[in-house]
Amino acid sequence: MTAPLLPYPAPVREVLLLRREKRFLVEVAEGQARYWVHTNNSGSMLGLVRPGLPALISKAANPKRKLAWTLEAVAVDGGFAGVNTSLPNRTLAAAVAACRLAEVRGEVDFRPEVTCGESRLDACIRTADGPLFVEAKNVTLVEAGEALFPDAPTERGRKHLQTLMRLAGQGARAALFFLVPHPGARCFAPADLIDPEYARLLALALASGVEAWAYAATVTTAGLDLGPRLAVRLPG
């Protein structure tokens, strides 16, 4: 069996999701035991926080952390949706290193977490043709095969779009990497009913030269593997 592009840190447990509280807390059940795990997902996780759904959790690397386990994925559509919001950044770095992205070729220098004015973007990839600035997003809301972002209004996401547009206007290459770790996704679109301003800015960004890369991903108990690129559709 081929190892996934991004293996989960061992050990991984399969549990049942019970409820979510205070955004970053999720109660799970494992046999007769009930306990709290951490989720770093600040979005709504719309459609995924339902009592009784199977979920995957991984052991935290820091033994002194208050909550020893992290929510990685939730079962949906016959598979798992990855809800750990560190996945896109890590997947982007791993995919570039493994030459798995058609949009990034040749010798590159990958620099994570770069400051651009008042914003911080997830990566600056220095290529032979100049710098490529990338912001990565995790997409877990899927309706009728359409992966939708965001799943809650996002002021931070709108700010990132404005930063990418400014960089593109200055002649730099700028892109959004939408990672869709959900088995039901067939294409990608902005969630205009949830955040119409984000949808408007995304359309404006694409028209101004910002690239949008939407990629499906497969999540298993072993980790995440990058799938095919998805078509990007704009409303209207």
CATH number of the domain within which 18 lies: 2.40.50.580
Tell me, what's the pLDDT at 235?
82
Residues 73 and 144 in one domain: no
Tell me, what's the pLDDT at 1?
57
> Using omega within 30 degrees of 0 as the cis cutoff, is the peptide bond preceding 112 cis?
no
Tell me, what's the pLDDT at 53?
96
Please, what's the b/e burial string for 91-115 (b: 16 or more CB within 10 A of its CB; e: otherwise)? bbbbbbeeeebebbeeeeebeeeee
Domain assignment present for residue 102? The answer is yes
Residues 158 and 227 in one domain: yes
Tell me, what's the pLDDT at 13?
96
Residues 111 and 58 in one domain: no
Q: CA–CA separation, 69 vs 223, rounded Å?
A: 16
Please, what's the b/e burial string for 42-54 (b: 16 or more CB within 10 A of its CB; e: otherwise)? ebbbbebbeeeee
Domain assignment present for residue 150? The answer is yes
Domain assignment present for residue 82? The answer is no
Tell me, what's the pLDDT at 119?
85
Q: Name the helix (H) or strand (E) containing 80.
A: strand 79-82
Residues 103 and 190 in one domain: yes
Domain that holds residue 106: 87-232
Helices (H), ranges, 79-235: 87-97, 155-169, 196-207
Q: CA–CA separation, 42 vs 83, rounded Å?
A: 10
CATH number of the domain within which 209 lies: 3.40.1350.60
**pTM for the structure as a whole:** 0.94
Answer for the pair 55, 47: CB distance below 8 angstroms, yes or no.
no
- All residue ranges of the chain with pLDDT < 50 are none
Answer for the pair 179, 136: CB distance below 8 angstroms, yes or no.
yes
- Residues 115-159 have pLDDT tens digits of 988 789 999 999 999 999 999 999 999 999 999 999 999 999 999
